[in-house]
Amino acid sequence: MKTTILTGVLGAAALGLAASAASAATLDDVKAKGFLQCGVNTGLAGFASPDNAGNWAGFDVDICKAVAAAIFGDATKVKYSPTTAKERFTALQSGEIDLLSRNTTWTLSRDTSLGFNFAGVNYYDGQGFMINAKNLPGVNSALQLSGASVCVQTGTTTELNLADYFRANNMEYNPVVFEKLEEVNAAYDSGRCDVYTTDQSGLYSIRLTLAAPDDHVVLPEIISKEPLGPAVRQGDDQWFDIVKWTLNAMITAEELGITSENVEEMKGSSNPEIKRVLGQEADSKLGASLGLSEDWVVNVIKAVGNYGESFERNIGTGSPLKIARGLNQLWTKGGLMYAPPIR
């Protein structure tokens, strides 16, 4: 009887030691590992949440899948690290994760002193207000909210933005603050305050948990800029480019009408732009210049669909959240989604 125990993985597991990918060439490390380590939210409806089987799904998760598809041609080669708001930056800095796709607001200080690069914006968010239309009939603008009591989570920038907004508009308000999100939800639902304020994307998911969702209206005003996007470490331009252009490719695909269903037909399109994007031109070098295969966009679109498909499936009309495209509409349709040309 011959017994062999392969201790390669075991040794690493036993000590909990694992080589991390903190070196410069993240793409090589990721290829060598065979998977992408992606930091996501610990749970945010529509953006990153587990399904019944425990698989990650959501709008931010799709970015991870898209990058994995661009590199490996296989969207399943991702390992997810659920990170809390405080942990996320350490995790990226220390090389525990290769990519942070966790509804992170792009700010100057994060870009500079924390040492990250934001690869673009995948969701334009902003702080908004929700009211119970039955209790406050006739209110259709945040500027009519003077004297209202406002439910808000304490210790967040949301609280500060709220104070700024009401002071700037010379309005009075009574803040009703809570520590935990569930507490704010319960207080608002039981009528302890007239107004609920948090990021607009959050308001839609909270509305799902209210007793009478149709009575509640999200007001149109957005009082802060929260451009959310995937972030990578500074100092690896190739990796930064891959993530940036994966997102751009999803947006471009929507603009050109390439979907996960018609991507195979589109390969044979006579439109030179589509041919170029899908790597069907004879001497295509676009993929190689990123360090990827020429059909990288095809793989991305097959895996997660174009930007619009991903949006509708996770947070838009195809999901219980039913968030309107709004600012996240393509620039051709009045939104802000604009990708530089792929050529």
Partner 1 sequence: MQEHDISFVRAEMLANAPPPASERGIVRWLRINMLATPADIVLTLVGLLVVLLIVPPFLNWALFSAVWTGPDRSVCATLAQGGIQPEGWSGACWAFVGAKFEQFMFGRYPIDERWRVMLVAGLFVALLTPLLIPKVPRKGLNAIVFFGVFPIASFFLLVGGIDIEMFPYQETASEQQVTNGVVESLIQDLPKTAYYFDVELPYVETSLWGGLLVTLVLSFVGISVSLPLGIILALGRRSKMPVVKMLCVIFIEAVRGVPLVTVLFMASVMFPLFLPAGVNFDKFLRALVGVSLFASAYMAEVIRGGLQAIPKGQYEGADSLGLGYWQKMNLIVLPQALKLVIPGIVNTFIGLFKDTSLVSIIGMFDLLGIVRQNFSDAAWASPQTPMSGLVFAGFVFWIFCFGMSRYSIFMERRLDTGHKR
The Cα 130–Cα 207 span in angstroms is 9
Q: Kindly list the residues in this chain that would bind partner 1 in the complex (CB under 8 A).
A: 1-6, 8-10, 12-20, 22-23, 42-46, 48-55, 79-84, 86-87, 90-91, 93-96, 182, 189, 205, 208-214, 319-321
Rounded CA separation 151/4 (Å): 62
Give CA angle at 179 (174, 182), nearest 5°.
Answer: 100
Residue 73 Cβ vs partner 1, minimum distance, rounded to whole Å: 22
Closer residue to partner 1 in complex, CB, 184/298: 184
Q: Which is nearer to partner 1, 4 or 170 (CB)?
A: 4
Of 160 and 212, CB closest to partner 1:
212
What is the nearest approach in angstroms of partner 1 to the Cβ of residue 147? 28
Amino acid letter, 317: T
CA 51/CA 23 separation, integer angstroms: 34
Q: Rank residues 5 and 282 by Cβ distance to partner 1 and give the closer one.
A: 5
Closest contact distance (angstroms) between CB of 270 and partner 1 is: 40
In terms of CB distance, is 20 or 293 closer to partner 1? Answer: 20
Place of tokens 């749970």: 43
In the bound complex, what is the minimum distance in angstroms from residue 293's beta carbon to partner 1?
28
DSSP tag of 44 = B
Cα–Cα distances (Å) from 307 to 66, 74, 146, 253, in that order, read 10, 18, 38, 7
| Closest CB 206 distance from partner 1, rounded Å | 9
Q: How many residues are recorded in the chain? A: 343
Decide whether 50 or 335 has the Cβ nearer to partner 1. 50
Q: Which residues of 118-151 are buried (b: 16+ CB within 10 A; e: fewer)?
A: bbbbbbbbbbbbbbbeeeeeebeebeebeebebb
Smallest gap from Cβ 94 to partner 1, in A, equals 4
CA 333 – CA 327 distance, rounded (Å) = 10
